[in-house]
Structure 1
Amino acid sequence: MTARRPPSADLPGAPVINAAAARLQQAADSGVPCAPVRDLLPMSLEAGYAVQQVLTARGLAAGRRIIGRKIGLTNPKVQAQLGVDTPDLGVLFDDMAVPHGSTVDVARLLQPRIEAEVALVLGADLDGEDLAPERVRASVDRVVASLEIVDSRIAGWDISLVDTVADNASSGRFVLGGDPVPLEDLDLRAVQMSMLEDGREVSSGTGADCLGDPLAALAWLAAAARDLGAPLRAGDVVLSGALGPMVPVRPGATYSAEVSGLGPVTVTFTDRGTP
């Protein structure tokens, strides 16, 4: 699967890009979801990533630090939930990381949903044209179960692909489990995932549900990030994509996921209005 950028002719001028970025930033700052940005933009991935890059630059200027990337929309069931048909990517900032077993203030999120994933921590850069499976696999230092708390600044999750790309791939927070393991001979296609809400299973899947293999998702991400001019580097955390359907977060609930061979990961959410 390739990830080349669309033609530059599809890219609108800076005022349009800045207007879309301003709409999303206002929603993030106010906590009030906004209208989709697709009314401002052409329906192209390049336009969406141009907005994402503006918002990323603003985050960096405000003192945030990028610690990795996320791949979105790798699971066919999640694609069906959102009416899209291709993956996308976003950046992970340091202030998005939530410790395993901790509590998240749900009031700081807009419309959170949650999904379980395999997270990969890179031990080597993934740049250049050589992204053969052997090199991609060798780049992974360790793997760990994760929960991604996805969120949308766009009201009602009324998103097209350009909307979610512009909105940093609908990123919110993420949780890494406490038991990272070396990749070694682990077959990530075969891992089994079960995610529970207060002890009741609400999502399940396998590694094969993530683009056929979380390492195939990593290869897709490496090519896409390279083509956007920001290749993956050693030390990056990569959320490789959902292993099962995402579910809406219920305030006050505890979510835990078990990924076979990778151990558990857990997070709790406050009730609405809890200080």
Structure 2
Amino acid sequence: MRASEVREAAAALLGAYRSGTPIPPLSATYPGATIADAYRIQQEQVRAWTDAGDHVRGHKIGLVSAAIQRQMGVHEPDYGHLTAGMFRSEHRPIPAGAFLQPRIEPEIAFVLGAPLRGPGVTVDDARRAVRCLLPALEIVDSRIRDWRISIVDTIADNASTGAVILGSTPIDPADVDLASTSCVLLRNGTVAETGTGAAVLGTPLNALAWLANAVGGLGVSLGPGQVVLSGSITRAIALAPGDSITADFSGIGRVTAMLGEEDAP
């Protein structure tokens, strides 16, 4: 893609945030777009957010299951950026109007205590860099109409990121076997999905090492204090105004997100 097309695509996505109206798939508008182009579009939006006063607090990892990778025609995950404005409190209703087509998924969040910079980061390196674990919920959203996304569309759209809700009690990673950690996802008190940490590339630490190496190739280091969402343990579920969603992780704890009613002031 030409630089002007990258800026044009980023502007269309930013416009969807403002208007609340999804846009047609970028993969149709720019049929020659590559994964590298998609990350350029993503970065253009990150620059716009930081220029407006927001700042990057971490990253999210997506496409961690083999089934989703096969569906998207890729062989590795993708990533997006988490800015400060995307973090929401679990104790207050989240305005429904902030999203276009929200879904929600449970994830294990890493808070880093040491820098990680690839290439060459191993799982042991990743483990040593983690200061603590937190239970997390990610509201995923798409600025692409009807979620008709290819790999190019989701990467360009900041890996379909919407919002992050973190639990409040940090857990020492040495106390948890992340691969066998189980999760029950409840919608309004009823079990909606279950899963284990093994769904995330065998263990969420594999996802963290992958991310460090992926962004390291671009000269980016993951820094102390940053938050990394390691990828969904279950399928994403639909999220509607008024819903209360709880993720209960064995050994890590619970986190709840409440989506406000559409007509709430």
TM-score normalised by the chain length of structure 1: 0.92
Distance 1:185 1:273 in 2: 43
Question: Aligned residue for 2:162?
Answer: 172
Stretches of structure 1 lacking an aligned partner (at least 5 in a row): 1-11
Any idea what the Cα deviations from partners look like across 1:146-197, whole Å, max 9, x if unmatched? Answer: 0000011011001000001000000100100111111114210010001100
Which residue among 96, 110, 119 is the counterpart of 2:86? 96
Tell me: CA distance 1:185–1:271, structure 2 relative to 1, closer, same or farther (3 Å): closer
Matched, 1:274 2:264: yes
Matches within 5 A, 1:1-275: 12-38=1-27, 39-40=29-30, 42-76=32-66, 78-79=68-69, 83-85=72-74, 86-275=76-265
Q: Which amino acid is the alignment partner of residue 272 of structure 1?
A: E
CA distance in 1, matches of 2:67, 2:182: 16
Q: What is the count of residue pairs matched by the alignment?
A: 263
SS of the residue corresponding to residue 179 of structure 2 reads helix
Contact 1:97 1:174 in 2 (8 A): yes
1:59-92 deviations in Å (ceiling 9; x for gaps):
1000001100000111345557x64543110000
Give the partner amino acid of 1:100: E
1-structure distance, mates of 2:227, 2:91: 19
Cα 1:241–1:235 shift into 2, 3 Å: same
Identity %: 39
For 1:16, what is the secondary structure of its paired residue?
helix
Amino acid at match of 2:18: D
* Contact in 2 for aligned 1:107/1:273 (Cα 8 Å): no
Q: Return 101-110 or 261-270, whichever deviates more.
A: 101-110
What is the rounded CA distance, in whole Å, between the counterparts of 1:212 and 1:140 in structure 2? Answer: 18
Deviation, 1:202, is 1.0
- What TM-score comes out, normalization by structure 2 length? 0.95
Cα separation, 2, equivalents of 1:229 and 1:49: 14
Counterparts of 2:236 and 2:202, CA distance in 1: 18
User: Take 1:121 and 1:70, find their aligned partners in 2: how far apart are those partners?
Assistant: 12
**Cα pair 2:90 2:258 within 8 Å, conserved:** no
